[in-house]
Structure 1
């Protein structure tokens, strides 16, 4: 199939279920963190979920075969166009719905407590930290220009049903803030996984999952996920996390 692309766009293979994704190299492109989050969250076939700040729609694409329906919301008009076209490219209009909107105003376009799960790969850094990219779309994906950590958790709490799951990838240095905001919004942390670039390096990402209205306590910490071997190649655990089993079996 020949798909017409706009300037600076390319089609990448997600190496899962034949999925493809259109990305614009002048805008923010998804990275490993989004893939790890899609594999980390616990979902079921009957689940309906929400992806806050979907970007190109990579997380809904990766979850599409595992759940019944995903509602994706995005503020950046360039990303909205890409996400909607990615749904069409992969024939997933029955599984993924992409909405243009600001999730700080989520009450205006989604009902309360309807989602079984929420996933979010938010901007990691407050505006006051680090250099801000000159490209607006990349800047807002990396820094809290349009929404803060508090905004993210508040929006998730609004759409989550009782006992619904909230899953996020973020920086370990902000873990204390994350847990505070989750508890403020009655989302109880239940599972953590730290991601280390190499075995002897400290974590540079954390995956966290909580339950709306869950009982306090019972937090489980998974074995850390190591991304690279000493020679720079991906570890077997990472490949199993990132790729489907049949791909792993052929390449290890």
Structure 2
């Protein structure tokens, strides 16, 4: 496996069917948000999936283990991440199911050239371009801030790529929820379910998982909260289930 790993990179065990992912030792690394999103997404046996803002390919890799989807595509604008994701796909011998494309989700011609999919997943940049401290490293800036795209770009892209009644699954910050739901309605991506993620029971939510449906009927189901930690500071049973290990 190490022949796929470049200097300055490392392998991380995903605790799923022996899968591993290539990551930078220093710099952008996937977090709990990507793992939660891959668990939240409902992918049926024959569903074709497109993961926007795929980064180093964590969500396509996790979905390949969790689902029987025959075709999972990741789209990423940053060449460095695309290269790492493609090497992870080859290393895990998933090239018959997982494809990583280099491209911009704001490129409407590119999106329309892709086959329509049943499911779109996306873990987009959370912060508005003018908010927070912009990281000096370009890769981190693009991954965390709306520099190369906006939340509206993400919702528009999902609508273009989905089949009729196709489903969108994304994760974002609670403070952007009003923006998110408004844009989903604007692009006729009807919100269908919502789940808040809390660090623990005494903290405010830090993430929100949302499911939408292209041209779906109006009905929003609010799911039970998800707690990352129990009161004693150990990981909750649900987090251990999602990660597939015995972490504490």
TM-score > 0.5, shorter chain as reference: yes
The residue matched to 1:42 in structure 2 has which SS? coil
* Aligned residue in 2 for 1:47: 47
- Could you give the per-residue CA deviations for residues 160-186 of structure 1, whole angstroms, max 9, x where no partner exists? 011100010000000000001111111
Which runs of no fewer than 5 residues in structure 2 stay unpaired? none
Name the TM-score, length of structure 1 as normaliser. Answer: 0.93
Check whether the contact 2:112–2:160 (CA below 8 A) recurs between aligned residues.
no
- Determine the structure 1 residue equivalent to 2:197: 195
> Is contact 1:166-1:210 (8 Å) kept?
yes
Q: Distance in 2 between matches of 1:4 and 1:57?
A: 15
* Cα separation, partners in 2 of 1:4 and 1:186, compared to 1, 3 Å: closer
Aligned equivalent of 2:63: 63
Check conservation: 2:190, 2:216, Cα contact below 8 A. Answer: yes
TM-score of the aligned structures, taking structure 2 as reference length? 0.95
Query: Distance in 1 between the 2:106 and 2:47 partners?
Result: 23
CA displacement at 1:3 relative to structure 2: 3.1
1:229 aligns with 2:230: yes
Aligned-pair CA distance for 1:229: 1.6
The 1-side partners of 2:198 and 2:92 are apart by 32
Q: How many Å apart are 1:68 and its aligned residue?
A: 1.6
Measured against aligned partners, the alpha-carbon deviations of 1:5-57 in whole angstroms (never above 9, x if no partner) come to 22210000001111100001333110000000000011111000111110000
- Count of aligned residue pairs for this structure pair: 246
Structure 1 residues 235 and 74, CA, compared in 2 at 3 Å: closer, same or farther? same
Aligned position for 2:145:
143
Deviates more, 1:102-111 or 1:43-52: 102-111
Shift of 1:90: 0.6
Q: Which residue of 2 aligns with 1:105?
A: 107
Counterpart selection for 1:160 from 146, 157, 162? 162
Question: Unpaired segments of 5 or more residues in structure 1?
Answer: none
Question: Counterparts of 1:8-157 in structure 2 under 5 Å?
Answer: 8-65=8-65, 66=67, 67-108=69-110, 110-111=112-113, 114-157=116-159
Task: Identify which range, 189-198 or 99-108, moves more after superposition.
Answer: 99-108
Instruction: Tell me the distance in 2 between the aligned counterparts of 1:73 and 1:106.
Output: 13
